[in-house]
Amino acid sequence: MTVGVAEGVGALTLQLGGLTIDPPVVLAPMAGVTNRAYRQLCREQGAPLAVCEMVTSRGITERIPRTFEYLSFAADELRSVQIYGVDPRVMAEATRILCAEFGVQHVDLNFGCPVPKVTRRGGGGALPWKRDRLAAILAATVRAAEPFGVPVTMKTRLGIDADHLTYRESGRIAEDSGCAAVTLHARTVLQAYGGRADWTAIATLVDELAIPVLGNGDIWEVDDARRMVETTGCAGVEIGRGCLGRPWLFRDLRALAVPGGAAVPSYLPDLGEVSQMVHRHAELQAELFGEKHGLTDLRKHMGWYFKGFPVGGELRRGLAMVSSLAELDALLVQLDPDAPFPASEVGIPRGRQGTPREKVVLPYGWLDSRVLGSADISAAETDASGG
């Protein structure tokens, strides 16, 4: 649970329990994106820790087949899973199952989800407002993982909104509960994925905690990551939307500089190299899901991969409807391999954006007290995305 500098290479390293994360870069769990295929693609580009899509703790404990389908790992993969839940006993049992039956080596807990169907029942980013429930979940999960030597981390947001911030207290609760690290997405639940991330809050949490703090939010290029580490002192970075259609970002991040070091230029592949990446992604998808299902699932990535490139409308439509490897290859060969990466896309937000919400949907009277007491909000799990 310490942060150090690797001698001779000038790169930050991160220790989570018995795990060494070098460089201190994490692929964030993203629903519908970070399946085994995409995680492997990012690992091939240099991601040392890639987190599985979020799954619900109740889905694990009730052994729902669809939930278990998400828990697919490559033989050489560091097995990392993010789980969601609101019941300490269920979260602890889910953690035990993950460690004992699936060989999971790292468990991350989601307390940052801004989706209304989750927050309206007191889950996700709404839960840290109830500090007693947060403490109970964290303590129970850490105890369940301890016999297996598995580190537990927490991901959270700044708070519900600017008037109801929770990140500082939540960080202290995580530290007191034995968590190995905290990842802070420096936006409120109200902001969702809009607006700007407040990196000053990351620096504040770094100053207040002895355990590592990882920063998340508005990292689109390698130099963004360098600046975040330099300006906040965070122990590492978590990459979400920034790598959508750009898994080679992790190649850049292998050279993440020590604070104060020189800026690292982003790698800008030409269209031919991007096409090769898409083909590799397609192969991994077909291996995981079968060719038809795998290529169908790949369609959502096409807009991210080819954004800004000179790809005609007809070709774009074809790529968005691809259903076989042969069909994909026939389309990719029509692209100009020498077309340079569009400079207009450098440093531009990717994936979900939108504007901040007008309000956060919460249970009736949720903000009246900072404690939940014995109230039961376990139904909040049943509607969470990701299994």
Q: How far apart are CA 53 and CA 346, in angstroms?
A: 27
Number of Cβ within a 10 Å radius of residue 297: 19
Q: How far apart are CA 50 and CA 155, in angstroms?
A: 14
Q: How far apart are CA 226 and CA 239, in angstroms?
A: 13
Q: How far apart are CA 319 and CA 151, in angstroms?
A: 41
Phi/psi of residue 340, each to 5°?
-75, 160
DSSP string for residues in 48-67: SEEPEEEEEHHHHHTT-HHH
Angle between helix 199-208 and 222-232 (nearest 10): 40
Q: How far apart are CA 295 and CA 36, in angstroms?
A: 14
Strand partners, 239: 27
Tokens of 351: 């994936």
Q: How far apart are CA 204 and CA 167, in angstroms?
A: 10
Catalytic residue among 52, 99, 113, 234: 113
Residue 243 annotated among the catalytic residues of the structure: no
Residues noted as catalytic? 113
